[in-house]
Amino acid sequence: MHTNFSDVKAGFQAYLENLYGKEQINNDNAQGGVNLFDYNDELKDYLENELNIDVDSIEGSLSEILDRALIANINAVNTNQSNNNGFVTEYLFDLLRDNDFVKTIDLNGDSKLDNDEIKEFMEYISLNDNNAENVSYKDIYDGVNSVKNGEYIKDQLDAGNTTLDVANQILDNLSEIQAEQAGNIQQTATQNINANTGASGASGGSGSGDDTDEAIWVSGQTSLAGKTEEELLEIKAEKQEKADEQRERLNSVYDGSDSGVKTREQNVQAAYELYMRRLDEEKVDKTRLQEKISQIDAKEAQIDAQEIKISNQEAKIQQNENAYNSAKSTRENLESALSALQGASSDDPDEQAAIEAQIASVTSALNTAKAKEEETKKTLEYSKRVLEKMEATKETYESDLAALNSEKDQIEAEILQTIGPNIAEAMNGYNNAKENLNTYKENTAENIKAQIDASEKEVSEIEKTITDNKNRNDNIEYSPNLLSKAIVQEALKYLGDNEADASADKFLYKWHSSSRQTGWCAAFVSYVMEQVANNTDLDIPDWYEEIENQYWQVNVHRAAEKENELIESNQAQPGDIVLFDYDGDGTMQHIGIVYAIEGDMMYTIEGNSGNCVKVNEYDLSNPVNQNITYVNIVDKK
């Protein structure tokens, strides 16, 4: 059914005037607008009985959003303003009843709308409690368009109001809703989300300087591995702050400072007072009931306080778990490095002495790492035991509460037997208000906890990246393969060098004597090889000297193929060359240096990747990465 909102506006105002008197409504308007929260039950009755709208079908959201919208309409009528706001409200009302639109602003993914989700959308289009009447059609129009093109969900993801899984589900919904635009929407919105979560659309350096193919090729890369520790710590701090803010919001639900809890507690208090008055009118002895309700309230307060303790303890556990995982990973990495060193030997006395010195250094570091792992493990286990006790206490409280509620139900049953239906309405009103409060707290807390989990997962991933990056650098530092070590450490010196600040010019003009329009991925590799050759006595293939044209990666591939130096990924080592054939036509378009290969994941150091030197990450199990070729450099005989 399509709603004629002018009828709603006029009809509802007439309804309120009949119910409360025209003078009262005019007085409310004169004091800044009709507060329709005061008339919420009448509003629901009017919408359901007069307009045949099932309010519960959109999870009670009408109480918050339509109240505000109707205020704007009523104020507009009484002040002879234009009917623009009436049109806005009609449009918005229709949107909120549109199941497709509901899917696009359903931030917790439960296929319903709750007040927080409506509030987030309204705040997104600059609506708040103080300027409801100032929302324009353009505000809502722009807001709806931002939903359609993926900007809204990206911003909500940035703000921590939803999770990546839900955001991706919304993208799927958008694709279904607007099938004819699915390609553009999915591409735009997915890029927005990937930008937030660390996925990179960075391009590598093709010989022609054209980044189009490479932008497609590296769509599966992640950028976290390529960031400095300082950058990662800054990102981590931002994510942790977001998690802390969400935890504070969770605690506000339990300590009663949340606005939604406050409103519902006021409703409970009003319903309680009415309930007690009705008992007095019926001359019922309410002493036992009041005592039981008081005991229930006290027990619920205990549970809420315990929930706050549990929430804070969970935050400690997450921090302790991150510290333990980091310590464990470091210990495992050092054990692996020590094993590799112990298996290495050299006929050169100086090289053998260097290996033995490395073994002593790693052994010392390993002992320290083992002690750190044991310490963090004990701290984590203790914090988990504390949480178990807290949860056990909460379960005891909940059991006590269930018993108290059962006793209260028995008392109310006795009252109903004595008085009958005369008291039932007030009794049900109080119990429903209490149930509404508890349901709101439960649902809101569950939604916030999901957001906390998502934020803390991001923090953990960043912690892991910091540790993994350190471990990779340690592996290179402790490597018995001196050529591997020299090439990678030299390449890492130039991370962040880019075209914008001209720091990449040393690669470009050294090898091309041309402009920055030229792809310089090969020039970067050549530069690194030259530095190693000039500064060490290690044996470097002289391919880097053949850079007479900008398609050096093609020449390297041909030379390596001729010399039988092409190898598989399971043979590649840090310092080897990696070549990329984007379209599978047998011609290499991009080149880099292997940084590390860990299972199915390969990390590279590449020049002209997004116009700078950076670390990239590739999932070798992904079919898109099947046209990668490796050249043996570090094991040259």
Q: Which two tokens stand for residue 159?
A: 């703000």
Question: Nearest-CA neighbor of 105 among 184, 178, 173?
Answer: 173
Element (H, E) at 377: helix 349-419
Work out the end-to-end distance of the chain between its first and last CA atoms, rounded to an integer number of angstroms: 80
- Kindly indicate the confidence band of residue 148, based on its pLDDT and cuts at 50, 70 and 90: low
Strands 614-619 and 566-567: unpaired
Could you state, in order of their start, the residue ranges of all structural domains in the chain?
A: 5-202, 230-411, 495-631
pLDDT value of residue 401: 95
Q: What is the DSSP string of 224-262?
A: GGGS-HHHHHHHHHHHHHHHHHHHHHHHHHHHT-SHHHH
- Res 306 pLDDT > 90: yes
Return the pLDDT at 127: 47
Residue 138 has pLDDT above 70, yes or no: no
Distance CA 420, CA 402 (A): 25
Q: List, as one string, the DSSP characters of 425-470.
A: HHHHHHHHHHHHHHHHHHHHHHHHHHHHHHHHHHHHHHHHHHHHHH
Percent of the chain whose predicted confidence (pLDDT) is above 70:
65
Q: How confident is the model at residue 18, as a pLDDT?
A: 57
Q: In this structure, which long-range contacts are made by residues 91-95, counting pairs with CB atoms below 8 Å and at least 24 apart in sequence? A: 91/137, 91/140, 92/65, 92/140, 93/3, 93/5, 93/8, 93/66, 93/69, 94/2, 94/3, 95/140, 95/144
CA 9, CA 12: separation in Å to the nearest integer? 5
Amino acid residing at 475: N
> What confidence category does residue 341 fall into, taking pLDDT thresholds of 50, 70 and 90?
confident
Q: Supply the pLDDT for residue 103.
A: 72
Compute φ and ψ for 619, nearest 5 degrees: -90, 105
pLDDT at 214 over 60: no
Which runs of consecutive H residues, i.e. helices, occur in 51-150?
62-78, 84-96, 99-104, 115-124, 137-148
Residues 262-293 have pLDDT tens digits of: 888 998 999 999 999 999 988 889 999 999 99
Domain 495-631 has CATH 2.30.30: no
Cα–Cα dist 240/470, whole Å? 21
Banded model confidence at residue 112, pLDDT cuts 50, 70, 90: low
- The partner residues of 580 in beta bridges, in order of sequence, read 590, 628
pLDDT of residue 379: 94
Q: Count H helices and E strands in the chain, helices first.
A: 21, 6
pLDDT at 125 over 60: yes
CA–CA gap between residue 317 and residue 425 (Å, rounded): 47
> CA-CA distance, 415 to 283, in Å (whole number)?
11
Q: Quick one: pLDDT at residue 145? A: 67
The letter for the amino acid at 182 is A
Q: Which of 9-13, 14-18, 181-185, 455-459 shows the lowest mean pLDDT across its residues?
A: 181-185
Q: 24-28, 273-277, 436-440, 595-599 — which is least confidently predicted?
A: 24-28
Q: What angle do CA 571, 598, 371 make, to 5 degrees?
A: 125
Name the one residue in this structure whose structure tokens are 């150091």.
605
Q: How confident is the model at residue 326 (pLDDT cuts 50, 70, 90)?
A: very high
Average pLDDT in the chain: 74
Q: Answer yes or no: are the C-beta atoms of 635 and 573 closer than 8 Å.
A: yes
Which DSSP state fits 550? S
CB 232 within 8 A of CB 257: no
CB 553 within 8 A of CB 207: yes
Q: What tokens were used for 586?
A: 């047998």
Average of pLDDT values for 369-388? 95
The reported pLDDT for the residue numbered 612 is 84
Q: Rounded to 5 degrees, what angle do the CA atoms 568, 545, 530 make?
A: 80
pLDDT tier at 591, thresholds 50, 70, 90:
confident
Q: Identify the pLDDT of residue 96.
A: 54
Residue 109 token pair: 């993914």
CB 522 within 8 A of CB 553: yes
For residue 487, the tally of other CB atoms under 10 A from its CB is 31
Using the predicted structure, report yes or no on whether residue 523 has a pLDDT greater than 90.
no
